[in-house]
Amino acid sequence: MKDHLVAALAYDGLCTFEFGCVVEMFSLARPELGVDWYRFAVCAAERGPVRAAGGIQVVAPHGLAMLSKADTIVVPGWRDADEAPPEALLRALRRAHARGARLASICSGVFVLAATGLLDGKAATTHWRYADKLRERHPAIDVRTNALYVDEGDILTSAGSAAGLDMLLHLVRRDHGAKIANQVAQRLVIAPHRVGDQAQFVPRPMPVDEAARLSRLMDWVRAHPAQPHTPASMAKRAAMSVRTLQRQFQETAGLTPLEWVTRERVAAARELLESSRRPMADIAERTGFGSEESFRRHFRLVTGVSPVTYRRQFAVRAA
């Protein structure tokens, strides 16, 4: 990762929050981490003033020519999902990708990457408000409506604004390992991993009392993953019927109660795999999977990799 250059695109109508996420993640010097941190550049996607949301004007020191030197290029949103990006920008992105640069987008920035054609035949995501439009306009893309971010190796896409932080932290984890990513997450005061999908953020009305009871139930289950959890036991603890419990989970998380419990157990297992050398059987017991076989099966279903592979990639190693 020595001298790895991250380039953030700036454009008129710039999405300030998304741009700020990229700046915060990659432009700050972090000598305390003890690794070769990223070089950072801001590149104007077009000529003319670069005005950002909130009355801010950005002075971009570089133009599209800098993309020819970038190792990672991030598109922090796009000003209008219905507006075609400049052809010069699309050509520069295609050339950068062809020589091996990694491309990433946050939220509506996926429409820029989609316009290059580089996402055809690949999976991608965007904010849930834009998902149908992306699917209709680019049918060759496998649009993952609920994903917080999608990693296709050389191209990554994220959902709404805050999900961009999840994706950018994932890039740090890929590049520098879990220990460094966890330290960066601590400095940003964000979770190293967020388990779940966009379905939990789609607005759906819920009575205040039911929402509070469900929230308390979720917190309790997260704190006690090893205990046996069934729809009946969870409904009893939340003081609601099983039918109401099922409905509320579908409306808030887009999952059944047991599907949600499985994901939370996997999240707990991921933390143990990253931070300890506990045997797989012990982790299976501590996270409520019962058997090592069940643990391995469910972990792979949720994460796409085996626990052994996950530990090998993300375990924190002593310096």
If one compares 277 and 96, the residue with the highest pLDDT of the two is 96
Q: Give residue 210's pLDDT.
A: 66
* Boundaries of every domain in the chain: 5-188, 204-319
Q: Span 141-155, mean pLDDT? A: 90
Q: 12-62: per-residue pLDDT in tens?
A: 999 999 999 999 999 999 999 999 999 999 999 998 889 999 999 999 999
Q: Domain 5-188, what fold?
A: Rossmann fold (3.40.50)
Q: Give residue 160's pLDDT.
A: 85
Q: Please, which pLDDT band fits residue 1 given cuts at 50, 70 and 90?
A: confident
Q: Span 152-180, mean pLDDT? A: 90
Q: Give residue 81's pLDDT.
A: 94
**Biggest distance spanned by C-alpha atoms of the chain:** 62
Q: 193-246: per-residue pLDDT in tens?
A: 665 555 444 444 444 566 678 888 988 999 999 999 999 999 999 999 999 999
Contacts of 149 (CB under 8 A, 6+ apart): 125, 156, 157, 158, 159, 163, 164, 166, 167, 170
* Residue range 204-319, CATH number: 1.10.10.60
Q: Span 55-81, mean pLDDT? A: 96
Q: Span 281-302, mean pLDDT? A: 94
Q: Give residue 319's pLDDT.
A: 35
Contacts of 228 (CB under 8 A, 6+ apart): 288
Q: Please say if the pLDDT value at position 318 is more than 50.
A: no
* Cα radius of gyration (the chain): 21
Tell which residue, 211, 302, 301, 193, has the closest CA to residue 251.
211
The model's pTM is: 0.67
Q: Give residue 10's pLDDT.
A: 97
